[in-house]
Structure 1
Amino acid sequence: MARIAAGADHAGVQLKDELVAHLRDLGHDVVDCGTHGPDRVDYPDFGEAVARKVATGEAEMGLCVCGTGIGIAMAANKVPGVRAATVHDVTSARLTREHNDANVICLGERLVGPELAKDALETFLEASFEEGRHIPRVAKIDALLPKEEVAP
């Protein structure tokens, strides 16, 4: 079982909470980075919190949820070592692990229902990086943002 950091803004908190409960039911260790209620908050704060846990090795994988899954992915991707991908189904969840070595899955509560989100999350966690022809491509992604440009 994996240690997974999870975070969401106010527009994704309900789905995040359902997914955290689901992950715990499956036996995963989940670090819930918040938010914990419906009060308006800023998704970059929670995308960064999850990403930092993944980048430092405090978590093996990350789960981010906002209204669309897009903004929180953009925030998480600013942290070196993180490859966050917004997914909408099991196919995109599987392929982003196999081809992009994504380590943070991002979902949109307004776009993906809870059952599909659970299936996509499970698929993401079960899939693995295929390596091979994908290694140089992922290396190019990682090289795009010099580490000295990002504050710790």
Structure 2
Amino acid sequence: MKIAVGCDPNAQAYKEEMIEFIKSLGHEVEDFGSDDPIYANVAFAVGEAVAAKKYDRGVLFCGTGIGVMVAANKVKGAYAANVLNVYSAKRACLSNNCNIITLGSQVTGNMLAKELIQAYLECTYEYTERSGPKVDAYVNYEATH
């Protein structure tokens, strides 16, 4: 898969370690930065690239993962989830068809972050009777509002 990755300046070293890890899993990675202290700008760029299907998925980092999640979710077609455990990383994909995950460099240890990224990237969303209508609801809402 092609993965778009970005961060705020505080998460630079964390992001670089995660990029190497993602590459070790066999994925192609594009680094969107960022030196921009306004983390929303890199989150918008990653969100737009993923929503446009130039990349299969995105991974964003900031101190908590919350700020980049909120910003990415402002992009039409970008669906970002802040993941804190392996189950939520899997469900972000399997239940919610999220195309971006976010992680906090100040709250998630490096080893756990790697487990979360791997769990997320190993999943493939499949439309089911249980999850499909729920995903349709927010995709349709976005399209009409």
Q: Please point out which of 83, 86, 90 is paired with 1:90.
A: 86
1:112 counterpart residue number: 108
Name the structure 1 match of 2:136: 139
| Cα deviation, residue 114, structure 1 | 0.7
Task: Quote the Cα distance in structure 1 between the aligned partners of 2:13 and 2:140.
Answer: 35
Task: Give runs of aligned pairs for residues 1-152 of structure 1, distance below 5 A.
Answer: 2-35=1-34, 41-132=37-128, 133-146=130-143
TM-score relative to the length of structure 2: 0.92
Q: Runs of at least 4 residues of structure 1 off by over 6 A? A: none
Say which SS state the counterpart of residue 100 (structure 1) adopts. Answer: coil
- Post-superposition offset of 1:11: 2.5
Distance 2:8 2:17 in 1: 14
TM-score in terms of structure 1 length:
0.88
Whether the aligned pair in 2 keeps the contact of 1:80 and 1:142 (CA below 8 Å) is: no
| Aligned CA-pair RMSD | 1.5
Tell me, which stretches of 5 or more residues in structure 1 are unaligned? Answer: none
Count of matched residue positions in the alignment of Structure 1 and Structure 2: 144
Distance in 2, Cα, partners of 1:12 & 1:140: 34
CA–CA distance in 1 between the matches of 2:29 and 2:80? Answer: 18
Q: Gapped runs of 5+ residues in structure 2?
A: none
